């Protein structure tokens, strides 16, 4: 199947402009970028899409076997790049999609002009042996996944506001809760394990394309130490700490997020 249909791809913006591909995280879809896209369309060809299993993607294309690891999603990203034939793109990956971008750029660096890793985490679980702090203990993640398995809708209602942050703006948490609840629970359970159990720390040093690590000033899911680690591991990368708080700056602070993407991707021309 054509990736453009499978992943419900939309291409907008300036024809012939530098290409920016926006990839959403767990429990979300391309709608999460709607506040950022208008600012990018002035200067870039903008590509948004839904991961298989999310949004308006072709759910018939989803299988537990293919999407039980990040590799299935990476295959999709690379196929999408080939099908669009738009040339090297700046891939903006939010949360778990940041590591999809890392793996895709390691596998086929010629497909990418650069990477923007937005609120990335290569490993959510702390590693006391190396001093790595991912933000969660093994027990924390096991409990999180058990709760998700037992009552996905209840888990969504409890976790989405924590992930979003910005408690003074409850409408943001409500939007993320709604997005989570639209996801098929079976697909969500598999994707949650991929998201929270993957460890891609060793892959970071293999990245050879220009990379911007954009972290939030306060993030319950990906604390500042994680962004600093990603920056330290990727040769020549740049690190910017956004004033935005929470784990979804494209919703909480779309202007600041768009400005960071524009400044980085625009300089790659």
The residues, any chain, with a CB within 8 Å of residue 251's CB and separated by 6 or more, are: 32, 35, 164, 172, 175, 176
Cβ(252)–Cβ(166) under 8 Å?
Answer: yes
Burial 199-211, CB ≥16 within 10 A → b, else e: ebbebbebbebbb
Please calculate the CA angle 195-50-183 and round it to the nearest 5 degrees: 60
| Nearest of 51, 49, 60 to residue 84 by alpha carbon | 49
Cβ(30)–Cβ(12) under 8 Å?
Answer: no
3-state secondary structure of 18: coil
152, two tokens: 């996905």
Active site residues: 95, 219, 247
Return d(Cα 235, Cα 206) in angstroms, integer: 8
Write out the E strands in 162-253: 211-218, 238-245
């Amino acid at each position: 199947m054509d990736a453009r249909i499978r992943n419900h791809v939309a291409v907008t913006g300036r024809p012939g402009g530098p290409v920016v591909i926006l990839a959403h995280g767990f429990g979300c879809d391309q709608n999460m970028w709607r506040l950022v896209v208008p600012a990018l369309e002035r200067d870039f060809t903008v590509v948004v899409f839904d991961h298989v299993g999310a949004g308006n993607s072709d759910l018939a294309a989803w299988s537990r076997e293919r999407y039980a690891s990040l590799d299935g999603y990476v295959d999709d990203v690379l196929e999408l790049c080939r099908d669009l034939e738009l040339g090297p793109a700046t891939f903006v990956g939010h949360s778990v999609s940041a590591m999809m971008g890392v793996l895709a750029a390691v596998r086929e660096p010629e497909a990418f002009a650069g990477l923007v890793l937005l609120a990335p985490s290569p490993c959510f679980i702390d590693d006391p042996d190396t001093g790595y702090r991912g933000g969660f203990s093994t027990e924390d993640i096991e409990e999180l996944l058990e709760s998700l398995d037992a009552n996905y809708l209840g888990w969504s209602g409890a976790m989405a506001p924590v992930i979003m942050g910005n408690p003074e703006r409850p409408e943001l948490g409500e939007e993320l809760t709604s997005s989570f609840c639209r996801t098929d629970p079976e697909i969500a359970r598999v994707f949650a394990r991929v998201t929270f159990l993957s460890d891609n720390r060793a892959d970071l040093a293999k990245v050879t394309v220009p990379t911007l690590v954009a972290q939030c000033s306060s993030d319950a899911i990906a604390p500042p130490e994680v962004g600093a680690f990603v920056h330290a591991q990727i040769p020549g990368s740049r690190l910017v700490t956004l004033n935005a708080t929470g784990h979804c700056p494209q919703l909480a602070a779309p202007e600041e997020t768009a400005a960071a993407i524009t400044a980085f991707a625009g300089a790659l021309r």
